[in-house]
Structure 1
Amino acid sequence: MRFIFKTSYAQDIRLARHGGQVFWYGLLLAFLAAAPWLLPEYWLAQLTFVLIYGIAGLGLMLLSGYTGQFSIGHAAFLGVGAYTQAVLANAGWPFPLAMACAALLAAAVGVVVGLPALRVKGIYLGIATLAFGFIVEEVFARWEPVTGGNSGMMVNPPTLLGWTIDSSESFYAVCLVTAMLATLGLLNLLRSPTGRAFVAIRDSEISAQSMGIHLARYKTLSFALSAALAGVAGALYAHKLQFLSPDQFSILQSIDLLLLVVIGGLGSVHGAFLGAIFLIAMPQLIALGKDWLPDAVGQAPGLQAVVYGSVLIAFVLFEPLGLYGRWLKVRTWLQMLPFYRQGMFKRQKSFQKSDRLK
């Protein structure tokens, strides 16, 4: 087991706690950078989707995992970013400028949703965001001069300084750089006073308010930043699919994003990308498993929904910390072998004194 003795304040603000993390993250970055030459085109496309969903997962993780706000309509922000990017890209705007506008418009919509949501919490906030998702999907379907309605709209390839990004390798590089910047930005945000205020609101709103944290301001800011990250993911999503229709941003997409953060691990940046890997890999595993199942089960139309629901129930009951929480336990088991003892990770429920006032 590794013990870290801190001898300076600079060690507290480093992103990497020790040299081992630098080595493993550097190895991961090297693999991701070499992926266009190591992976076939199909798996490179799947990895691109992992990066896109990971950025969207970072946004929802900030809102739900770090601020404690519940959202079942996050696909609406993804759709706002996607359609904004599509309209501006088709109008000939440069890719970075169009993506910045997509993020800003999604953030503005997030503020509009966050202000009324200040009066509700818990399941009622989830219902409010769910209703917002239905409204946005209907707007996409009815606003035909801009979105193309249910007929959909094509999306032109992104352009940057006169260079058209039309190959899968170049677009993967754009998604990788964007995901890295989003991750580093979120990590630095969480270390700032704003990030600590988000975590304080998640743990106990009464305690946070007693420390002088303005609940309305920080909740609205959390909605705006979360929506902005979803808008960036939506901009990349539009160019990856090259065709948009309103049914791509339905309640099912919102549930997929919620599955992403819950199964990946609420309250961890790693969980956003682990959940994205699960979300992309699970349909592939289900398709492979159909060949081994009886026809009555393998060809059933609701097989994927049953598998997703079963996996979610299993994680909620047996591993609430998600895939990242399971990895932490496995890592601790390996570090403490052979001194690991049974029941070390037994869940215990503890309450703060202020929680009884909720």
Structure 2
Amino acid sequence: MRFLFKTSYAQDIQIFRDRVDASWYGLLGLVVIALPLLMSEYYVGETTWVFIYALCGISLMVLVGYTGLVSLGHAAFLGIGAYAHAFFLEHGIPWIPSVILAVLITTASGIIVGLPALRMTGIYLAIATLAFSVIIQEVFSRWEYVTHGFAGMPVDKPVILGIPFSDDRSFYYLCLFFLVMALWLTRNLLRSPTGRAWVAIRDSEIAAQSMGVNVAIYKSIAFAYSAALMGLAGALFAHKIAYLAPDIFTILLSIQFLLLVIVGGLGSLHGAVFGAIFVALLPPIIAILRDSIPASMADAAQSTGIAAMGALGEAVGNFLKKPGVEAGIFGLILVLVILLEPLGMYGRWVKIRVFFSTFPMYKRATFKRQRTYMRSERLR
């Protein structure tokens, strides 16, 4: 069992808890850097999707997990960043200025959405952001001069300062760089007065106001920062998908982002990364099972002589090929996580870590949920 004794105030605000933590993260960094040298290009490409989704997860985590503002319109911010970046590249603007302009435009969009939503919370805010997403999707479809409408908009591979990032491995490192920078920046921001104000607003707006927190300003900052990160993710998303179309940035994608932060673990940057791994890797896993289950069951049927096994495998494969099955699996997993593990994947990892660090003195009541109070009861 290892105990951490704090001897200075600086230990409360340092990025890593201690040297052991820093060593583990350093080892993780070395593994992530070496992965493209050990995997095929297909798996490198799938891991790149994890990095892009993790950027989106950090963006939504700032809003939902740390500020307590529910959004169903983040796919619109992703689309604004992707289309703005592609538009500027198409008109000859270099890559770095194009990304900066795309982030600025997305940030402005976040402020525009955030200002009317300052007096909204809960389901009303979710409906407002949903309406924004529907409006922006219609703009993507109609504003053909910028987005090319339903004809689509091709996006070339990135070229930064004359250096092409045309293959999957180089683009992997580009996305990894931006993910690490976003994690570092967000981690430092959450340790600052701004991040503490966000957490205070999430816990209780009335208590935050009583402590002098300007709720309107900090909510606007949260929307702006969240939209900026989503704009950066949109620029990388545009290069990864290589061809933009309005039907990509739908409400289903926004729900997928919300699923990401809930399954990963609300209120944790680790949860954003864990959720990204889940959301990015589940579709290829379903695709692999769709092809491998019928073949493996057919081989088993031939070896054992039980014909029903082959028929069962074919039925399972046909079921997985039906449209909407993937969305149904996402929904089922979301319901199971909410019922069985409300703290998400990162919460489960924390429980496992605490179990081994305190064994054999671990108690189940350590993570027992306490009584929750209604908003009206808190004011008494």
Q: Which moved more, 1:147-156 or 1:301-310?
A: 301-310
Task: Give, in angstroms, the shift of residue 289 of structure 1.
Answer: 3.2
Partner residue of 1:11?
A: 11
Q: What secondary structure sits across from 2:54 in the alignment?
A: helix
What residue ranges of structure 2 are gaps of 5+ in the alignment? 295-312
Task: Give, in angstroms, the shift of residue 28 of structure 1.
Answer: 0.9
2:287 is aligned with 1:287: yes
Task: Give, in angstroms, the shift of residue 60 of structure 1.
Answer: 0.3
The amino acid that maps onto 1:327 is W
What residue ranges of structure 1 are gaps of 5+ in the alignment? none
Pick from 339, 342, 348: which aligns with 1:320?
Answer: 342
Pick from 351, 354, 359: which aligns with 1:332?
Answer: 354
Partner residue of 1:103?
A: 103
The amino acid that maps onto 1:209 is Q
Cα gap change, 1:355 to 1:100, in 2 (>3 Å) = farther
Pick from 364, 369, 374: which aligns with 1:347?
Answer: 369
Q: What secondary structure sits across from 2:183 in the alignment?
A: helix
The amino acid that maps onto 2:177 is V
Contact map agreement 1:36 1:169 (CA 8 A) in 2: yes
Cα gap change, 1:61 to 1:355, in 2 (>3 Å) = farther
Whichever of the two has the greater Rg, that structure is: 2
The amino acid that maps onto 1:67 is T
Q: Distance in 1 between matches of 2:161 and 2:85?
A: 17
Q: What secondary structure sits across from 1:344 in the alignment?
A: helix
2:312 is aligned with 1:300: no
Q: Distance in 2 between matches of 1:300 and 1:353?
A: 44
Task: Give, in angstroms, the shift of residue 340 of structure 1.
Answer: 2.1
Q: Distance in 1 between matches of 2:269 and 2:23?
A: 19
Partner residue of 2:304?
A: none
Q: Which moved more, 1:2-11 or 1:126-135?
A: 2-11
Report the TM-score, using the length of structure 1 for normalisation.
0.96
Task: Give, in angstroms, the shift of residue 355 of structure 1.
Answer: 5.8
Report the TM-score, using the length of structure 2 for normalisation.
0.91
The count of aligned residue pairs is 358
Task: Give, in angstroms, the shift of residue 269 of structure 1.
Answer: 0.3
Identity, in percent, stands at: 51
Q: What secondary structure sits across from 1:14 in the alignment?
A: coil
The amino acid that maps onto 1:23 is S
**Alpha-carbon deviations, 1:255-288, whole Å to 9, x = none?**
1100100000010000111000000111122223
Task: Give, in angstroms, the shift of residue 165 of structure 1.
Answer: 1.9
Q: Distance in 2 between matches of 1:186 and 1:299?
A: 39
Cα gap change, 1:125 to 1:89, in 2 (>3 Å) = same
Q: What secondary structure sits across from 2:93 in the alignment?
A: coil
Task: Give, in angstroms, the shift of residue 30 of structure 1.
Answer: 0.5
The amino acid that maps onto 1:35 is L
The amino acid that maps onto 1:315 is V
**Alpha-carbon deviations, 1:178-231, whole Å to 9, x = none?**
111100000000000000000000000000011111111110110000000000
Task: Give, in angstroms, the shift of residue 299 of structure 1.
Answer: 3.3
Pick from 288, 307, 332: which aligns with 1:310?
Answer: 332
Partner residue of 2:89?
A: 89
Q: Distance in 2 between matches of 1:299 and 1:194?
A: 47
Q: Which moved more, 1:133-142 or 1:300-309?
A: 300-309
Q: Distance in 1 between matches of 2:376 and 2:189?
A: 26
Partner residue of 1:62?
A: 62
Q: What secondary structure sits across from 1:157 in the alignment?
A: coil
Q: Which moved more, 1:217-226 or 1:7-16?
A: 7-16
2:213 is aligned with 1:213: yes
The amino acid that maps onto 1:104 is L
Partner residue of 2:275?
A: 275
Cα gap change, 1:353 to 1:231, in 2 (>3 Å) = closer
2:57 is aligned with 1:53: no
Q: Which moved more, 1:149-158 or 1:88-97?
A: 88-97
